Every structure is written in C-alpha cells, then in structure tokens.
Amino acid sequence: MVFSESADFSTNQIVLKTGTILGGSAAQIAAPNTLRLFGNVNVNPPKELFSIAFTAGWHNFGLQLDFTKNTVQVLYSAGQAALAAVGGAQANDLSGQGELHFGLLKKPTDSADIVNSGFQEAGINEGIIYGGIFQEAVAANCVSAL
C-alpha cells in the first residue's frame, strides 16, 4: 500500500502490506488481516519491522528514515491518538536515498508469475482510504503529531 523505492529503482527500502503475503512465512500467511511493515525487500526474507491487526478505523504510521545511519524508526497510533515510537531505530538498507510511492497493488494468491497469471477471488468488496500522506525533514527529534 505504501513503499519507498530506492532512487535507482533497484529495491523497495520499506513496504507496508496486508493480505496474503506471497512467499511469506506460515505465520504471515495464517494472518492475512494484518498490516505488515517490511524493511528492504532485497533481504531474503525481508525483515518485518512492525505488524498490527488490520481493524476498522484509522491506522496512523510515521517512519523516520535515517539515510546516513541506514535505520528506520516506526511510529504508530490508532484513531486520533498521537503517534508514538513502537521500538527503537532498526537497521535497514536505505542506500540510494528513496522515492515515496503509495497506491494499491493487488496480487494474485496462487501464482509464481504474478504479472501474467493467478487467481483473484470474486465478490470481494474492499478498499483503502488514505487520509493524508506527507514527508518532512525532522531535526532535534521533532515529529509532527496527527
């Protein structure tokens, strides 16, 4: 749903996903109604930086990407609560800087060739609302509150 791609387009440095994760662990596949934030996808398997049940209502994320130290700090809140850190900064390859993208990419659930084949279940009524996405430079630990 959201990813930061390296400036040379060779990898996604962070990725927010939900649903059945192709190539995911048994635990990830068994819990498709989970929001999962992964680190650099060139690591096999990609490191899961944070996860939380995908429930009704607003899910708010903040990510502090330190391109010098190659770390990611995850902040999270639900509803109208202020963002709060959910652990310390984690090592993650951010080399090449990045370009933020967001949108929906629905992959098939049963195919190794996700571009040309696969099964999509019919009759599913689903959607995502983005309430706001922004980037900011932070200094002196200043983080915008929602």
Phi, psi of 100 (to 5 degrees): -80, 135
| Type of residue at 47 | K
Pure H helices in 1-146: 26-30
* Mean predicted confidence (pLDDT) in 24-39: 84
Is there a contact between 98 and 6 (Cβ–Cβ < 8 Å)?
A: yes
* Mean predicted confidence (pLDDT) in 40-54: 91
What's the domain count of the chain?
1
Rounded-to-integer distance, Cα 58 and Cα 103, Å:
17
pLDDT of res. 74: 93
What does DSSP assign to residue 47? P
pLDDT of res. 28: 79
- pTM of the predicted protein model: 0.81
Query: Tokens representing 99?
Result: 């370009």
Condensed to tens digits (0 to 9), the pLDDT of residues 2-17 reads 888 888 888 888 999 8
Domain that residue 6 falls in: 1-146
